[in-house]
Structures are given as structure tokens and as C-alpha cells.
Amino acid sequence: MKRYVIERELPGVGKMNREQLKQAAVTSCDALAKLYGKAHWVQSYVAGDKTFCIYLADSEASIREHARLSGFPANKITEARTIIDPMTAYS
């Protein structure tokens, strides 16, 4: 599986309450269930009118299919080829 960062433009997402975010997560998980084994949602960051989502997927096509099924746009999909963190400095 490859790791992807998906930028989604979702006007108003930064003002959603906990229940609204919960429903968005349910919608995403329902779409992922239809793609069993092809895509896995790791986490998302909400920033203003966008989300930045981390997914593991077999291909960019699976990310696009999740966007179609969920109704959440995938405005920009970028494959993350390497991960670095503070421990990288010590390895």
C-alpha cells in the first residue's frame, strides 16, 4: 500500500461541530467499506475550509473512487514517498 496526502476543499468544515464531524467520518467509513482492502483512512487534519487526509491505498484510482462514493472531493492527491520525523535525526 502507498501512503497518500489528500487535500479536500470543504467550505465550512473548520466550523463543524463534533456531531457534524462524526457524521462526516461515518460517511467516509461507509465508502471505505465498499473499497475493502483497497484504501484505509489513517487520519485527517481540519484547517479552515480544507482537510488534509492521510490514506493508505493501493492506487490513486482507489482514492478517487472513495471521493466519488463519499461525496468528499479529492482536490489534490499526492503520494508521500518518504516519512521523516524527529527520530530521523537520530537514525
The reported pLDDT for the residue numbered 85 is 94
In whole angstroms, give the CA distance from residue 64 to residue 70.
10
The reported pLDDT for the residue numbered 82 is 95
The reported pLDDT for the residue numbered 3 is 98
The reported pLDDT for the residue numbered 2 is 97
List pLDDT tens digits, range 21-67: 999 999 999 999 999 999 999 999 999 999 999 999 999 999 999 99
The answer to whether 44 touches 54, Cβ cutoff 8 Å, is: yes
Number of domains, the chain: 1
The reported pLDDT for the residue numbered 21 is 96
Q: What is the CATH number of the domain that holds 79?
A: 3.30.70.3090
Domain that holds residue 55: 2-90
The answer to whether 32 touches 41, Cβ cutoff 8 Å, is: yes
